[in-house]
Amino acid sequence: MIAGREFRSRLIIGTGGFRNLESMRGAVVASGADLATLALRRVDPSARGSIVEVLESAGCMLLPNTAGCYTARDAVTTAQLAREAFETDWVKLEVIGDDRTLLPDPVELVDAAEQLVADGFTVLPYTNDDPILARRLEDAGCAAVMPLGSPIGSGMGINNAYNLRLIVEQTHVPVILDAGIGTASDATLAMELGCDGILLASAVSRAEDPARMAHAMRLAVEAGWNARAAGRIPRRHYAEASTPTEGVPELT
Amino acid sequence: MRVLLNGESREIVDGASVRDAVRAAGAPSEGRGVAVALDGEVVPRGRWDEEPLTEGQRVEVVQAVQGG
């Protein structure tokens, strides 16, 4: 449930990095996701096929991003272009500070979030794994916060589980882990830590078999969610027998 | 007149509209999934026919692509 809208899946698919639309379609369907990101770029007259049609026929709501923006101004304009193009006021807000790490620029990010919320957007910001920044974004009126596990496309998983726990503890809107997932266990861990959902792209789109990895991610997210909800046993230093210690026969 | 259409200097007939620029950029002129900015300001689709282009304007015509 994000901004009053209910989704079937806790997995959001980023569509960057697929070899072609056919590969993307197979992975989106296998993932079970019903929310998918896309981006805006200058028209390429030679481009074939419509990503919008493919995503909508797969039952996905569109979540345009502001990838490639370095300033609040560019991100706000890009979100407004996306609203025109896709007739949605939802936006995955990305304002990056550096093209080597693609880490968010926190100052520009909060500025852009405030402007977009005031302009009526439903804002889902890609953010650092910083609890204070996450709080600022929630206070700005964002519909979710989306901390990174590690840099975009790095596949390093969750670098700071402690910070992620703090963000989960304090946040009253959905927390969606965005970026850094490499394989299924990373997604499961994020859900076990209390995230409400996962957004991933490269882990699936650049896998050798994207559809199969998408299926794995679907199961991983469900596994982590259920494990969290089921209440895990505490960690112990020593063993605790699961078989009764009473009534053991004397055999020697 | 010349405008900067998606980063390329292009000759466009005087009096051309935003919709003409969309066509010139190679996008479907009615299509959902296309948006336009003139000198960094978004032009709503409803104004594509009435909004005239002027000499030297920066026209960005964008559409959906894959992205994370």
Q: Is A28 a catalytic residue?
A: no
For position A126, what pLDDT does the model report? 98
Using a CB-CB distance cutoff of 8 angstroms, which residues of chain B are in contact with residue A201?
A: 68
Please compute the mean of the pLDDT values over residues A134-156 and round it to a whole number.
97
Using a CB-CB distance cutoff of 8 angstroms, which residues of chain B are in contact with residue A153?
A: 68
Contact B6 A42 (CB under 8 A): yes
Average pLDDT, chain A: 96
Which tens digits make up the pLDDT trace of A37-74? 999 999 988 887 789 999 999 999 999 999 999 999 99
Candidate from A21, A65, A153 with C-beta closest to B67? A65
pLDDT band at residue A174, thresholds of 50, 70 and 90?
very high
Candidate from A41, A67, A86 with C-beta closest to B68? A67
Candidate from B40, B61, B65 with C-beta closest to A77? B40
pLDDT band at residue A245, thresholds of 50, 70 and 90?
confident
DSSP codes, chain A: -BTTB--S-SEEE--TT-SSHHHHHHHHHHHT-SEEEEEEEE--TT--S-HHHHHHHTTPEEEEB-TT--SHHHHHHHHHHHHHHHS--EEEE--BS-TTT--B-HHHHHHHHHHHHHTT-EEEEEE-S-HHHHHHHHHTT-S-BEE-SSSTT-----S-HHHHHHHHHH-SS-BEEES---SHHHHHHHHHTT-SEEEESHHHHTSSSHHHHHHHHHHHHHHHHHHHHH-PPPP-SS---SS-STTPPP--
Give me the residues of chain B with pLDDT under 70, please: 29-31
Please compute the mean of the pLDDT values over residues A11-40 and round it to a whole number.
95
Which tens digits make up the pLDDT trace of A87-141? 999 999 999 999 999 999 999 999 999 999 999 999 999 999 999 999 999 999 9
A246 touching chain B per CB within 8 A:
no
ipTM: 0.93
Please give the model's pTM, rounded to 2 decimal places. 0.92
B30 touching chain A per CB within 8 A:
no
Nearest CA in chain A to B48: A84
Contact B68 A51 (CB under 8 A): no
For position B31, what pLDDT does the model report? 66
A107 touching chain B per CB within 8 A:
no
